[in-house]
Structure formats: C-alpha cells, structure tokens
Structure 1
Amino acid sequence: MSADRSLERLANATLLVPFEAEHAPRWTLDGLADGIAGVCLFHNNISGPEQVTELNRRLSEAADDPLIALDEEGGDVTRIGQAAGSDYPGNAALGAVDDPELTRSVHRTLGARLRALGFTLDLAPSVDVNTVADNPVIGTRSFGADAELVARNAAAAVTGLQEGGVAACAKHFPGHGATHQDSHHELPVVDADTDLLHRRELLPFRAAIQAGVRSVLTAHIQLPRLGQHGPATLTPSLVNGLLRTELGFDGMIITDALDMRGVSGDIGIPEAAVRALSAGCDLLCLGRYVYADQVAAIRAAIVEAVREGRLPAERLEDAAARTAAARAWTRSRGTVPGDEEIGLAAARRAVRVEGELGRLSDPVVIEVDAPAGMAVGEVPWGLAPWFSGTERIDASAVRADEILSRATGRDLVVVVRDAHRYPRTRALLTELCAARPDTVVVEMGLPVWRPQCRAHVSTYGAARVNCLSAAELLGSATVASIR
C-alpha cells in the first residue's frame, strides 16, 4: 500500500460520519470498507425498530465491526423514541430520585435495547453539572446542579449502559453545565478557575473514568480563567493535558459535532478536524449533514496536515489505534437483560407534587409550546395522548381570557416546559393562576419557577414515560388502555 493510501486509511479511522437517509448510501458502505471508523445515526436515519435493525446489520457487514453510534440519552434527547417520545426518563428525573441503582438499571435496559437494535456506541450520558438555570443546551439532560449527585449517577449510568452491551460516552468535557450560550450557535464561556473546575465540572468525569467509561466527548466551550480562549475540543492542554494525562483517561476521546458553530464557525470543518486531532481527540464526530464530498475534504485536510508536518503521523496513528481498540471492545461485548418496566417505574418515582392535587373533573388541558433545542429535535411531548381535546398554544398569540372562557365550569390544567426560560409563558401563567387559583400546573422541564396555584406537578422531563406518569396523577381515564 502506498504512503498516501496508508495516510488516507489512518485518516478514515478517525471519522464518525452521518448519512442522508434510512438506508446506507454507497459512499458510506464503501467508506466503511475503506477504514472509516463508524457512523452516527440521527432522526433522519430511523423510522422504526425493524428498519433500523436491518440498517445496522447492513452497516456492520460493510466492515469489521464499525462503530454504530447515536445520541440516545433517554428523556428529552432520543433518537429511537422520536415518534412517540422515550420509554426512559432522562437524567434530570433520575437525579431527582437520586438512586444510583435505579439509574444503573434504567441505563442497563436502555443499553440492552440499543445493542439489540445493532448499536455499539451510545454518545451518553451527559455528566454536566447544570449550575445555570437558563442553560439553553443542557437543562434536563443533566442529573442536577450538585456535583457529587451528578458524579454518583454518572458512574451508575456508565456502568449500566456498558452492562447492556454498548460503549458509553461521558460528555461534554470539561463540562457544559455552567454556560448561558448554546455551542451549536456560538462559543460559550465557562467562568471557572482551576479550583472550581476540579470541585465541580470534573468530579463527574473522574467518577465516569473510574467506572470504566470507554469514551469521553469534548465540549466546544472556552474557559478564559484557565488562559484558554478557543474551543476546549481544539485545546491540547485540556484534551491531552487535563483529560488524558491528569485525569488518566486512556480510552477514546470523541469530539462533539464539528459542524457546530462553536468549533468550526470561523475556520471550517476540515481545519477544525485537523486541530482536534492535534489537540488529542481520536474520533471526529462530524455532525448531521456532513456527507460524501465534505467527508472527502476532511480526509484530504488531515492527510495534507500530516504531509506538511502540522499533524504528527504518530498522533494520527495513536488516534486510529484508539478507535480500533473501541471497535474491538464492542465486538467482544455480551449483554445483560434489562427490565422493560423500569422506565415507567423510574418516571413515577421522579414526579413531585406541591399543593393539593385532588381529583380532576373533565379538565381543560392547555399546553404552552416551547421551542425544541438543537440537541432535542422535534419529539412529541405533553398530555394530548391521554386527554382528548388538549390544545397546544403559543403564549404570545393567545389571551388569558380566551383560555379562562373555555375552562368555565371545568378544572384547568396548564402544561409548560422550562417556564423559567420564557417570560411570555410566565406572564400568561401568572395571569391564569391569578384568575383561577385552582389551576393545576404541570412543569415538564426544570421546576425552577412556579406560580401561585392549586397544585404544581414536576416531571423533570418530557419523555413519554414522564408524560404518562403525570397523566396517571391527573386521573386520565385513557391511561390504562394505551400505555
């Protein structure tokens, strides 16, 4: 094999690529056969269990056990639950319960389900400590705001996923929980010095590493108080220095998606790929819409960087060896059966009620819409499957008196999602509760803010099982027949 072909195959071994549809295109299959490390599936690749199982079978046959990955956190971030919502509560709900054995059991069942569908790598769990209430990208994806709580549940989640048969991935290193910005759109800042970083952000990563996590995913954030003014993903002192050397992580380091503006907005994806490898990353998650021609351009940029001496060939060889080791680990894994009832049981344990709920009679159910984040996507949520006539409204386009008129003589239930982040939602809810103090409010995000109302129900997430657990509390007559 020529030197150029050897370099191209080494470059391929660092790529985790997306593709366009529910079937694998020829460029993807050929690329896997030519050494591409693996693929990452998104909503556009999955329509149902049978389809994705067959797709993953075809992908696995294209090469020697490629990595077949997805972002399946349970809760609000779900790929296999896109059609109806997840069967597993997310981290916020599990953190509210704070029972590591429950967290482990939920993730073991999730891992076993993913393995049965043909996946080998789950880009989860999020082990960020969510200390900023209005964090636009983490929120319910975190176990909570307490570092020790997050750490013990992070270790449990990692253990459970890997018992289920898939490699886990602790993210977003060195911690995305203290940001006010979304790295999909810009480069967020974490205002933490070295001492705070070790006491807060890094504690869950240490726990995940001690639990044997097979991979860690880097964040596109900057930490200026550490003297760092670019994305962590591209910073050798954080990736190779802090994670690899100081924390002693010897597994595969994966970038967050390189199509995010927080890392490639000013330099382009090919250059971001070169710099990420140089910083110490091993597997380049390219994003959702980076297809054949762009993948070829990224490969060419990596090869050219080696030729120019900007990227040592030894660094590329090391990265390729680590992705190969991850593939070998997934090849050897068995699976521990899960408990298919555990998701709903966990969601029920997470629900909290403040006030007197009582029995509702023919309630009017109003859902106040909230925009889905980039990581979440369009996934159904709310109480509509269990309460006929449920209406989804825009808080800026409806008057309180219209809702009050509709609810005359009937109980009123208002469902919100992260109300603390949306002033118009809070204003509408405040007006409704002032006129109807007997209103029941169901919060399906983080319960940071609550109005004065008869009862406030917190589900800590909007997964299908979270919504079902709320419907049970509210006494829906249809719950038993459709769950």
Structure 2
Amino acid sequence: MPIDPGLRRLALRTLLAAFAGKSAPDWALALLSEGLAGHTLFGANIAEPVQVAALTAQLRSVRADVLIAIDEEGGDVTRLAHRTGSPYPGNAALGAVDDPDLTRTVYAAIGTDLAAAGINLDLAPTVDVNTADDNPIIGTRSFGADPLRVARHAAAAVAGLQSTGVAACAKHFPGHGATLADSHLELPTIDAPLSVLRERDLPPFAAVIAAGTQAIMTAHIRVPELTGSGPATFSRAVLTDLLRDEYAFQGAVITDALEMKGAAGAAGGIGRAAVLALAGGADLLCIGARVDLALVEEVAAEIVAGVGDGRLSLSRLEEAAERNAAMASWTQQPVAATPHDGALGYAAARRAVRVEGSLVELTEPLVVQLESGHSIAEGRVPWGLKPHLNGTEQVSVVPAEASPEALAARAGLRPIIVVGRHTHRAEATRALIESLAASHTVAVVEMGWPSVWRPAGARAFVTTYGASHANGRAAAEALGLTAAR
C-alpha cells in the first residue's frame, strides 16, 4: 500500500540520518529535498577542513535549513580530530580546573571550529554526573562527580558553544553517570528513586535549560520508578512529564542513536523504537551511524504506520517536526565569527594536570603505554605521550600479556613511566605496575577517569583527566619529555 506523501514528509522531518564517505551520496541529498531534517557526520566522513566544508556546503545546497550534526565534545570524543586526537581537553579536565570562564572559552572555540566547517548542531556537551568510577561510557566525558560543579560547567559550555551560532545538545537525560553498563550494547538500569535523581543527576539539566540550550538528548537507560521496563527514550513520564512539564524545557528533544541496543534492542527494531520515542515526547531521532536509504525509508514508513494504527498521534508528529524546524531556524541567525588562539586547548590541558609525589629522577625513562580498548562513543582515536616525546623510547604492551621482568630488563637502569587509561580497573594492570615499581623508579600517568587507587611503590602519579592530544602534550611537558618548541 502506497505511503501518504504528506505523512512521509512529516516523518522525514523528525529524522537525522547518516551516510558513508567524504561526500554525500545522491540518496542522502534527495532525502533532504523531500524533507529529511538532516544528517549526522562521523569520523568516516571527515578527512580535513577543506573537505568537510565542501561536504557541508553540498548538503546545504539542497536546503539551507538542513541540520548538520556531529559529536564534537573535545577530549576523548572527537570527530573533527579523530585522526590525531582533539586539541582541546575534555570535560573531566575542565571540571578539574573548575574555571567556568575557561569552559565557556573552550566551548566557544569548539563552536567556532564547527561553524567554520559548516556544522550547526553539536551533540554536546555531556552533562552527566559521573558518580560511578567504573562507568564504561561516560567517565572523562563528564565534568565530574559533584552535581553543582557539573551544573555550572554545563551552563558555561552551552553558553560558549551557542555564542557561535552552533546549537548545543546537552546529554543524556535524565542522567547516564551512575551506570555500569554501556547503552550501545545493552539497556542499563539505574534503580534509584526520583528523589535521588533530583539531587544527583538532574541539576545540570536544570542549568542548561536556564542557559537556553537548544536541545537535550535522551538516555537509553532504564529507571524503573519512571520508565518501567523500557528506556527513558521511550518514556512519556521522563520526556513529557519531567522534562517538558516540570523542568519547562521548550527546545528539541533528540534521541541517542536508535540503532543502539538500549533502544532498538528494547523495541524490537529501529523503526519501532522511532515510533515509541516520538510518542514519548522525542522530536529529532538519531537513527545511528550505519544508515542507508532503505533504513531511512523503513523508519519513515513505520512512523507513518504508527500514525495510522494509533501508536502515534498526528499532532505529536507535527509538534516534533515544528520543534526541529525552530531549532534549524535558530542556527541560521547570523553570528560574527570570532577567531581563537590555536594554543587555547593546550594551555587549558596544562592547567588540569595533577601531580602526586615527585617527578625528579625520571630523566631518560622508558615509557610503557598500556594498550586499552575504546568505547563506541570514542572510537579508535590516537592517545598517549608518543606524539610529544623528544626521542624517548616507548613500548606498548597489553597488561595481561606483558612480562614485568622483560620490561624491567629493557629499562635497565632507566626509570619507567607507565601510561594508561583506567589503570585501576584490571587486576593485571595493577599487578604489572606494582611489580615494575618494586624494582624501578616508576611514575604512572593516568589518562582515564581517576580512582582512589594508587600503586604501591610508585614514585609519582600524574592525572590528566583525559587522553586527548592536548592532554598528552600537557603530561609530556609536566614530565619534561617534550622536544624544544
């Protein structure tokens, strides 16, 4: 049965698609002419600034008000700098410095970079309060574990970003910071009463609403008291009763990627997830990164079917489309470009470095980088000290497979600097570091979310609060390992 073209166009106005490649395929352009709200760019779409600007101009040539979105958080989550690492520290480092003016300035610089590339919607900042040290998906993306600190930096980040004409999208409502599971892979549960969320997780969202954020992103998390057995992304109690009615948010509600297990897995498919999200109160639906024409048409058809069979009201669909159009219109307001110092992020990262113990007797060391995995949000982005070293030898090892005796022998009389992320999490990592410290002068550089663990026998413990290119340079400078500049 043919799909009503008016309803199809209305459904497309609620969708953020994506595509592979450094230029837009014909189908991605055709959908924009048919009403598609926009596209999200990922690392696979990014080569260098001139190419990105040409790509966004190509999209905008079809429709001036297209939404072009990206996950550019600075720190460990970067798309523009996915080949080298971000020139900005991330939220954890900014929270550690605790200078809201610095946070505002850094986010204004990020916004300036995005605007120059033709991108008008940043799926940032992350405003989750990271209360779980072993959170596998938030961590250094958070400004910290204190709700009030996170709130003041969240507001500053939104103000800085939006001063450049780039819409901010604060995430992940109602708070992803207490989870011990990754919603890309499963549906995490936060079994806490609403009273706890009000004190712990929701203050930053109140702050970004007051700061005028254009958008807020949903979390694919289950909060039984509010969401029952499903995720917040589908919950009217979360998106309408709490966010709209109680917190008076008037902007666009954007879903996290519906392809994630926390959404598609809970709904039985991306199309069904789209209908449930819209019915719950979401406006703009991120389909995900692996998108083609067939998937977009499938999702649009399911939305149209949802209107037909009563799962979704026509007025709710129209409301969602109008909110998205209003945000797109906001991004078209002229804003004067403000150039920034390219060294800004590196200076900010230096301010975040914390040193415990003594860095003396660490000259001419052997640097041992502990290989670690990456979250889906981060992707495979280079990290560590190697790009900044002045000829210092570095080896990379897998902690569970490494021989402390072999590493000690390789170091000889030299001190050892161990560089890792989340070094406290694995027993093999902790054992390797403490074994090396028993025979050598050892310093540890922690580039992930810090914990209270400190290795026995280590001479120094250096915390960077992130693993961006800027964080790596700051650590290398603190250790005296950088070449003369």
Is the 1:258–1:286 contact (alpha carbons within 8 Å) kept by the matching residues of 2? Answer: yes
Q: In structure 1, what is the Cα distance between the partners aligned to 2:450 and 2:312?
A: 47
Q: In structure 2, what is the Cα distance between the partners aligned to 1:473 and 1:359?
A: 13
Give the corresponding residue for 2:463: 458
Q: What is the CA-CA distance between 1:227 and the residue it aligns to?
A: 5.9
Counterpart of 1:423 in structure 2: which amino acid?
E
Is the 2:227–2:237 contact (alpha carbons within 8 Å) kept by the matching residues of 1? Answer: no
Is the 1:259–1:290 contact (alpha carbons within 8 Å) kept by the matching residues of 2? Answer: no
2:163 is paired with a residue whose SS is: helix
Counterpart of 1:309 in structure 2: which amino acid?
G
Q: What is the CA-CA distance between 1:462 and the residue it aligns to?
A: 0.3
Counterpart of 1:454 in structure 2: which amino acid?
R
Give the corresponding residue for 2:444: 441
Q: In structure 2, what is the Cα distance between the partners aligned to 1:289 and 1:419?
A: 32
Q: In structure 2, what is the Cα distance between the partners aligned to 1:421 and 1:336?
A: 43
Q: In structure 1, what is the Cα distance between the partners aligned to 2:327 and 2:366?
A: 52
Give the corresponding residue for 1:426: 430
Q: Can you list the C-alpha shifts for 1:172-196, whole angstroms capped at 9, x where unaligned?
A: 0000000011000100011221111
Give the corresponding residue for 1:393: 397
Give the corresponding residue for 1:330: 331
Is the 1:110–1:164 contact (alpha carbons within 8 Å) kept by the matching residues of 2? Answer: no
Q: In structure 1, what is the Cα distance between the partners aligned to 2:114 and 2:343?
A: 16
Counterpart of 2:435 in structure 1: which amino acid?
E
2:122 matches 1:133: no
Give the corresponding residue for 2:406: 402
| 2:382 corresponds to which of 365, 380, 383 | 380
Q: Can you list the C-alpha shifts for 1:216-253, whole angstroms capped at 9, x where unaligned?
A: 00000011134622100001111111111110000000
Q: What is the CA-CA distance between 1:333 and the residue it aligns to?
A: 4.0
Is the 2:130–2:145 contact (alpha carbons within 8 Å) kept by the matching residues of 1? Answer: yes
Q: In structure 1, what is the Cα distance between the partners aligned to 2:350 and 2:386?
A: 18
2:417 matches 1:416: no
Equivalent positions of 1:84-483 (< 5 A) are: 84-226=84-226, 228-266=228-266, 267-337=268-338, 338-358=340-360, 360-387=362-389, 388=391, 389-436=393-440, 438-448=441-451, 449-452=453-456, 453-478=458-483, 480-481=484-485
Q: What is the CA-CA distance between 1:395 and the residue it aligns to?
A: 0.6
Is the 1:163–1:335 contact (alpha carbons within 8 Å) kept by the matching residues of 2? Answer: no
Give the corresponding residue for 2:31: 31
Moved more, 449-458 or 32-41: 449-458
1:318 is paired with a residue whose SS is: helix
Is the 2:87–2:469 contact (alpha carbons within 8 Å) kept by the matching residues of 1? Answer: yes
Q: What is the CA-CA distance between 1:8 and the residue it aligns to?
A: 0.8
2:217 is paired with a residue whose SS is: strand
Q: Aligned-pair RMSD on alpha carbons?
A: 1.3
1:457 is paired with a residue whose SS is: strand
Counterpart of 1:316 in structure 2: which amino acid?
L
Q: What is the CA-CA distance between 1:260 and the residue it aligns to?
A: 0.2
Provide the identity percentage: 51
Q: In structure 2, what is the Cα distance between the partners aligned to 1:14 and 1:8?
A: 10
Is the 1:134–1:420 contact (alpha carbons within 8 Å) kept by the matching residues of 2? Answer: no
User: Post-superposition, which runs of at least 4 consecutive aligned residues in structure 1 deviate over 6 A?
Assistant: none
Q: What is the CA-CA distance between 1:206 and the residue it aligns to?
A: 0.1
1:415 is paired with a residue whose SS is: strand
Q: What is the CA-CA distance between 1:335 and the residue it aligns to?
A: 4.3
2:424 is paired with a residue whose SS is: helix
Q: Can you list the C-alpha shifts for 1:60-106, whole angstroms capped at 9, x where unaligned?
A: 11113200000000000000111110011000000101110000000
Moved more, 86-95 or 418-427: 418-427
Q: In structure 1, what is the Cα distance between the partners aligned to 2:252 and 2:131?
A: 27
Q: What is the CA-CA distance between 1:397 and the residue it aligns to?
A: 1.3
Q: In structure 2, what is the Cα distance between the partners aligned to 1:116 and 1:240?
A: 35
Q: What is the CA-CA distance between 1:473 and the residue it aligns to?
A: 1.1
Counterpart of 2:404 in structure 1: which amino acid?
A
Is the 1:234–1:279 contact (alpha carbons within 8 Å) kept by the matching residues of 2? Answer: yes
Q: In structure 2, what is the Cα distance between the partners aligned to 1:56 and 1:359?
A: 51
Q: What is the CA-CA distance between 1:477 and the residue it aligns to?
A: 4.3
1:376/1:282 Cα in 2 relative to 1: closer, same or farther (>3 Å)? same
Q: In structure 1, what is the Cα distance between the partners aligned to 2:153 and 2:471?
A: 19
1:477/1:197 Cα in 2 relative to 1: closer, same or farther (>3 Å)? closer
1:39 is paired with a residue whose SS is: strand
Counterpart of 2:364 in structure 1: which amino acid?
D
Is the 2:476–2:482 contact (alpha carbons within 8 Å) kept by the matching residues of 1? Answer: no
Q: In structure 1, what is the Cα distance between the partners aligned to 2:341 and 2:201?
A: 31
TM-score, with length taken from structure 1: 0.97
2:4 is paired with a residue whose SS is: helix
TM-score, with length taken from structure 2: 0.97
Give the unaligned 5+ runs of structure 1.
Answer: none
Counterpart of 1:367 in structure 2: which amino acid?
Q
2:21 is paired with a residue whose SS is: coil
Q: In structure 1, what is the Cα distance between the partners aligned to 2:388 and 2:221?
A: 41
Q: In structure 1, what is the Cα distance between the partners aligned to 2:230 and 2:377?
A: 22
